[in-house]
């Protein structure tokens, strides 16, 4: 497990001589110490606790690390880091299951308080989400709920195991005005507007809703058809209520797209480990995941490298179980190793992960250049690269006139 991953010579499979010749072994899989500079014991414990596959070996590893036998644990640092990465629920559950006697009482109580506060908030958000689904249906608006509570139920198995802050819906572009009008009529007010996204807040019910009419903004172009996503929906159970959201295959694509976009926007750093945990948890839970369909759709959408990037992070950090063919493809793409190291280098540091909106701060030439290089390395085709540059340039007059 983590102890094994410390070794840079660790390999995932025992390949034959012919397989090794056909698929030369690169520096992947990366050791955690190679991926994360100044790798601390608290980081090792955190990653072990949020790993979806909590088998006997992982539980033994958690007990060993938490005991401080190898190196003392700074529990306050662990609490702060878990909150920063939005993984308090998984950390608390698995520390509790391991019955760690060395956790200071005040820290354990703090974990417990945050866990139950999140569970109560998620229950309230679930009720609100179900209300809004009925509300949209009554308005004949086709809305797909995703992220947040949907991920908690489908990928984690329990609504209490993911930290959630708001409710997200994807609607068809033709229904944007109708959806906005309906939300305002229901008591919501607009708080922020972005490309293909608008945020609303209900002051009385204290609920935030993000309305999307595209999975990505214009400046991070991925042509995911709403109609196809709608037709591919599958049933999930949310608080004993059957609803429909993205198919597992579409959801995996979207999660990989999201983490790539967020890394690109946030100065090429992972915003939080919860995004990686989402991918790893979905892979662990969706035993019938159609990997051929995932790869076929990734190729069709020209996001093959973006998808491999997300899978590489989930495998390297949380030991997500990937098919051998995907392991080979990651090994054969050295760029993925370099990008993974780039986005993980401040994962457990105090680096200011400031949101870097691509529509603003054009004077920051160095930041813009780094973003451009990062994006180009994520995309294989020139068409997507040129479209990205075009969309960024197109927004300059709007920014200068505002």
Give 342-375 pLDDT, tens digit per residue: 888 888 876 444 444 544 554 466 777 777 888 8
State pLDDT tens for residues 36-45. Answer: 877 899 999 9
**Does the pLDDT at position 162 exceed 60?**
yes
Q: Which of 123, 132, 141 is nearest to 178 (CA)?
A: 141
User: What whole-number distance in Å separates Cα of residue 211 and Cα of residue 24?
Assistant: 45
| Upstream peptide bond of 29 is cis (omega within 30 degrees of 0) | yes
How confident is the model over 235-249, as a mean pLDDT?
95
Assess whether pLDDT exceeds 70 at residue 17: no
Q: Tens of pLDDT along 168-177?
A: 999 999 999 9
Beta carbons of 366 and 360 less than 8 angstroms apart: no
Report d(CA 237, CA 351) in Å as an integer.
Answer: 39
Q: What pLDDT does residue 70 have?
A: 82
pLDDT surpassing 70 at residue 6? no
Going by pLDDT thresholds of 50, 70 and 90, the confidence category of residue 127 is very high
Packed helices 304-318 and 273-285: angle between N→C axes, nearest 10 degrees: 90
Each domain of the chain, given as residue ranges in start order, spans 2-401
Arithmetic mean of pLDDT, 219-237: 92
Q: How many helices (H) and strands (E) does the chain have?
A: 20, 7
Classify domain 2-401 by CATH number.
3.30.460.40
Most confident of 212-226, 243-257, 378-392: 243-257
H or E segment to which residue 276 belongs: helix 273-285
Mean pLDDT of 223-247: 94
**Is the model's pLDDT at 332 over the cut of 60?**
yes
Q: Say if strands 207-212 and 189-194 run parallel, antiparallel, or are unpaired.
A: unpaired
The SS3 assignment for 268 reads coil
Instruction: Indicate the pLDDT class of residue 395, thresholds 50, 70 and 90.
Output: low
Write the pLDDT tens digit of every residue in 173-213: 999 999 999 999 999 999 999 888 999 999 999 999 999 99
What are the tens digits of pLDDT across the range 253-306? 999 999 998 888 777 678 789 999 999 999 999 999 999 999 999 999 999 999
Q: How confident is residue 221, by pLDDT bands cut at 50, 70 and 90?
A: confident
Average pLDDT over residues 115-139: 96
Per-residue pLDDT, 292? 96
**What average pLDDT does this structure show over 141-155?**
95
């Amino acid at each position: 497990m983590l102890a094994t991953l410390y070794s840079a010579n660790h390999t995932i499979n025992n390949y034959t001589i012919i397989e090794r010749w056909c698929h030369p072994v690169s520096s992947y899989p990366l050791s955690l110490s190679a991926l994360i500079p100044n790798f601390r014991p608290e980081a090792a414990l955190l990653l072990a606790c949020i790993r979806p596959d909590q088998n006997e070996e992982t539980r033994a590893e958690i007990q060993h690390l938490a005991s401080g036998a190898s190196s003392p644990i700074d529990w306050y640092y662990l609490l702060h880091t878990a909150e920063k990465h939005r993984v308090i629920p998984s950390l608390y559950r698995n520390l509790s299951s391991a019955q760690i006697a060395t956790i200071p009482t005040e820290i354990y109580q703090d974990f417990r308080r945050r866990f139950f506060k999140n569970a109560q908030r998620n229950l309230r958000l679930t009720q609100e989400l179900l209300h809004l689904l009925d509300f949209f249906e009554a308005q004949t608006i086709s809305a797909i709920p995703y992220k947040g509570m949907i991920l908690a139920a489908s990928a984690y198995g329990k609504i209490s195991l993911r930290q959630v802050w708001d409710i997200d819906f994807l609607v068809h572009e033709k229904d944007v005005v109708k959806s906005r009008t309906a939300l305002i009529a229901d008591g919501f007010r607009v708080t922020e507007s972005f490309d293909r996204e608008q945020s609303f807040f209900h002051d009385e019910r204290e609920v935030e809703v993000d309305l999307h009419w595209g999975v990505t903004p214009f400046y991070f172009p991925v042509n995911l058809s709403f109609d196809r996503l709608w037709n591919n929906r599958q049933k999930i159970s949310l608080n004993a209520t059957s609803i429909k959201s993205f198919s597992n295959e579409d959801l995996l694509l979207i999660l990989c797209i999201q983490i790539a976009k967020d890394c690109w926007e946030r100065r090429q750093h992972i915003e939080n480990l919860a995004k990686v945990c989402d991918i790893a948890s979905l892979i662990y839970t969706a035993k019938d995941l159609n990997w051929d369909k995932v790869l076929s759709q990734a190729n069709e959408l020209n996001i093959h490298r973006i998808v491999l990037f997300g899978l590489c992070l989930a495998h390297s950090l949380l030991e997500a179980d990937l098919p051998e063919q995907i392991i080979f493809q990651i090994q054969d793409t050295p760029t993925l190793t370099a990008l993974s190291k780039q986005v993980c280098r401040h994962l457990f540091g105090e680096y200011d992960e400031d949101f870097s909106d691509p529509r603003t701060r054009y004077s920051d030439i160095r930041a813009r250049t780094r973003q451009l290089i990062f994006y180009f390395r994520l995309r294989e085709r020139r068409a997507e690269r040129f479209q990205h540059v075009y969309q960024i340039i197109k927004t300059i007059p709007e920014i200068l006139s505002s």
